[in-house]
């Protein structure tokens, strides 16, 4: 297959590109700059220059390919609503091109903040009220006949080069000279290794299951206190609980996420995709590569 990948030079997208090429697929990668284009070319993929707001380019990429994997997202949490609108428009634009064909489209979404079922976020947990509309947009396309499916990622997709939540938490610990956790630190974080996630994306685009939701998760429930304790040990900083206004003071923009309950499972996903994570877990990865 020839797969059009958005976010192809990014932390997750670049792993997806590598996984696809290793499995014998061809890739067209969306690049917003020459620097990004070089990364994609060096990986062995073709390049299409443009951004998520270049709708004509998105249509071109989707029409030239046998399928689409959408990993790009504007991670500006100060303008989250705008980022969501750009994302929704991009998904619909590519979906319109795929309508009436058997070409698959795999859309990235998140699972943090979704309602738990018996203590865990499952594939049945509803994203209807999620501030990120990626999943709802993809499922609406599936209802119209597009072979759209959703890969839900946990809050931490980890590996060397991570620039997500965990590095930010480490940075705040350094900045504030304390490794903090919210309240009692009993709420949970879930995680998956970047290379395991990339394999799940490949399997999802190969399966082309219309309307499927995949919870791609390995570490199901790590207490936020455990993460803080590891950071404190590695940085030789005191570890303490923060509550109320102190949560916002310490965690800044991430304060809206750090208190969520994020325990998640994906048993159905593993069965449906034949996917099984094989790489190291978050805490071990942090010890080896994050400090």
pLDDT for the residue 119: 95
pLDDT at residue 78, as a whole number: 65
Residue 170, number of CB atoms within 10 A of its CB: 20
Q: What backbone torsions phi and psi does residue 193 show, to the nearest 5 degrees?
A: -70, 145
Structural domains of the chain sorted by starting position, each given as residue range(s) with its CATH number in brackets: 2-154+192-216+266-277 (3.40.50.720)
> Can you give the pLDDT at residue 45?
98
pLDDT of residue 76: 67
DSSP the chain: -EEEEETTTSHHHHHHHHHHHHTT-EEEEEESSHHHHHHHHHTT-EEEE--TT-HHHHHHHHHHSSEEEE------GGGHHHHHHHHHHHHHHHHHHHTTS--EEEEEEE-TTPPPBTTBB-TTS--TT-S--HHHHHHHHHHTT-EEEEEEE-SEEESTT--SHHHHHHHHHHHHTSEEEETTS-SEEEEEEHHHHHHHHHHHHHH--TT-EEE--SEEEEEHHHHHHHHHHHHT--EEEE-THHHHHHHGGGHHHHTS---B--HHHHHHHT----S--HHHHHHHH--
**pLDDT reported for residue 128:** 82
For the chain, which residues score pLDDT lower than 50? none
């Amino acid at each position: 297959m020839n797969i059009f990948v958005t976010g192809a030079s990014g932390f997750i997208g670049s792993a997806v590109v590598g996984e696809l090429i290793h499995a014998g697929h061809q890739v067209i990668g969306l690049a917003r700059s020459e620097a990004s284009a070089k990364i994609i070319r060096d990986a062995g993929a073709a390049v299409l220059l443009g951004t998520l707001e270049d709708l004509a380019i998105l249509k071109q990429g989707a029409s030239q390919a046998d399928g689409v994997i959408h990993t790009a997202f504007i991670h500006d949490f100060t303008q989250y609503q705008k980022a969501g609108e750009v994302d929704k428009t991009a998904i619909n634009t590519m979906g319109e091109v795929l309508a009436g064909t058997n070409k698959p489209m795999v859309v990235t979404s998140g699972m943090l903040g979704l309602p738990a079922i018996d203590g865990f976020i499952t594939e049945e947990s509803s994203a209807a009220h999620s501030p990120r509309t990626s999943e709802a947009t993809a499922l609406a396309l599936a209802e119209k006949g597009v072979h759209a499916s959703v890969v839900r990622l946990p809050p931490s997709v980890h590996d060397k080069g991570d620039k997500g939540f965990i590095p930010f938490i480490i940075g705040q610990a350094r900045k504030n000279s304390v490794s903090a956790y919210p309240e009692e630190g009993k709420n949970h974080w879930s995680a998956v290794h970047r290379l395991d996630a990339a394999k799940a994306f490949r399997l999802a685009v190969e399966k082309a299951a219309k309307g499927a939701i995949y919870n791609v998760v390995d570490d199901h429930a790590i207490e936020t206190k455990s993460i803080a304790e590891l950071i404190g040990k590695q940085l030789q900083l005191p570890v303490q609980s923060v509550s109320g206004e102190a949560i916002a003071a310490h965690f800044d923009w991430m304060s809206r996420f750090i208190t969520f309950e994020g325990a998640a499972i994906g048993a159905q996903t593993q069965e449906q995709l034949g996917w099984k994570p094989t790489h190291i877990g978050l805490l071990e990865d942090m010890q080896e590569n994050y400090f």
